[in-house]
Structure 1
């Protein structure tokens, strides 16, 4: 095992994202390997169950909520390790499980899934940063996440743009300017974000063109995540209220004034 996986840096990521190292709890309400979600039929069966379990209006809402959760549980930790700790961490999908603990057994009490991972791999990223960064992102997206997002959009009537923005809102906040320490660290953060959202080709994401570009804007010659969403994630259909970044807020306010 790479020494990074035993450091306080990685332990902090694990704790912040409530990742369980090992097998999912035996008495979970439900668990499913991430690899199974690449299969459209298995994904459809799980989303149908998930829709009922979280009382979502339809599969579209359930699929969107799951994509947001994956951005938090899966993508954000890997991007954090890459940019801030210079490590290429790999979740082996067949040994990575979404699981739903019994509510009374988990302090957060949410019906959304948590992540249990086994057989983690980590590789220190040295040498040409452009080369290993592309490799890490291609594995993260084109090989692992994008096939799952495609399965979600195939079984639920929602666009890939919504799913990609759900991922973007989870990783965009990692690159906030005040997260940097030294000027060198700040430069690495800017360069990684610029590559991830502007420079990387669609092939790195497993799609025709970079799916994150449209969710950024340029401020003071630096690319940053947009402060407001372009698409609606349907959160309001779960909670009865709009999230602060929802594009529907302005439309709702206009309709109330008419």
Structure 2
């Protein structure tokens, strides 16, 4: 890695928790993002499908974006925590394959791992950074994966939204000195940022996923139930759903169709 200032070591250590990778490897699922966007997405989906023992391309596609949500979390952590931006260009990022306890948990390698301090008006700076992260990066990935795997973008965007809720409501909320900024950034990302900052949208694609939290007896916590199923329970060796899966409620009501293709829980959401 290049362009690393010695004063940034603490922040780099923190980003390791967000699955920052300090090294590359030659694993079959390691790939540069530009290569993925410009190349054969179907071929990569097949590799992921086989690598994680997914039953079909839709499950593989959902897992790719679910893992990729950590890139979004990492990017906005630096924004809200310290008013600094990462180089989030697709040409700068490599998805580095990594497994932990049998689970595919890829990491992110930055060719240029440098932190760019906020300049000028914060609101304008934040607007451009959100556009760089979403419209110029994540949107492109979601569009290509969605078309290739024929999976609803509603599922893929919620995979991103879930980890941004986690970032702002669990990780950043403890920073008392930045409390007001964290709240403002959260509201901006989910409710105020216009659709064009996220890609070819008229409306913010994240706003539809906010909902009132309910008490979950098994975890003894208040949780926000997803509006779509991410299909992770269909992975080989996984026989249970996520604690925030909407299918729990559908199952209790006798309405769960248990389909691999298109979860019925997304049909009530306008895309």
Structure ranking higher in helix proportion: 1
> Is residue 195–residue 204 contact of structure 2 (8 Å, CA) maintained in 1?
yes
CA shift in 2, pair 1:100/1:80, >3 Å:
same
Deviation at 1:252, TM superposition (A): 1.3
Give CA deviations for 1:168-203 in whole Å, capped at 9, x if unaligned. 111111111772433x51111111011111111111
Quote the Cα distance in structure 1 between the aligned partners of 2:6 and 2:183. 23
Q: Which residue of 2 aligns with 1:33?
A: 32
- Map of 2:12 onto structure 1: 10
Structure 1 residues 215 and 4, CA gap change in structure 2 (3 angstroms):
farther
Q: TM-score, normalised by structure 1?
A: 0.85
Q: Which residue of 2 aligns with 1:127?
A: 120
1:35 Cα deviation (Å)? 1.1
Runs of at least 4 residues off by over 6 Å: none
- List per-residue Cα deviations over 1:16-65 (Å, max 9, x = no partner): 0232224x124x243210112223x5222101111111110110000001
1:77 aligns with 2:70: no
Determine the structure 2 residue equivalent to 1:211: 205
Deviation at 1:240?
Answer: 1.8
* 1:89 alignment counterpart: 86
Partner of 1:175: helix, strand, or coil?
A: helix
Count the aligned residue pairs. 241
CA contact (8 A) 2:88 2:137 kept: no
Q: Structure 2 vs 1, CA of residues 163 and 49 (structure 1 numbering), >3 Å: closer, same or farther? A: same
C-alpha contact 1:88 1:124 (8 A) present in aligned 2: yes
Whether contact under 8 Å (1:5, 1:122) holds in the other structure is: no
Between the aligned partners of 1:187 and 1:218, the Cα distance in structure 2 is 21
Residues 30, 234 of structure 1: CA spacing in aligned structure 2 closer, same or farther, 3 A cutoff? closer
- Aligned residue number for residue 245 of structure 2: 246
Aligned-partner Cα distance in 2 for 1:4–1:145: 29
Residue pair 1:29, 1:99 contacting (<8 A) in 2 also = no
1:91 positional shift: 3.3
Contact 2:143 2:153 in 1 (8 A): yes
Query: Any conservation in 2 of the 1:54–1:112 contact (CA below 8 Å)?
Result: no
**2:4·2:113 contact (CA, 8 Å) conserved in 1?**
no
Structure 2 residue aligned with 1:200: 193
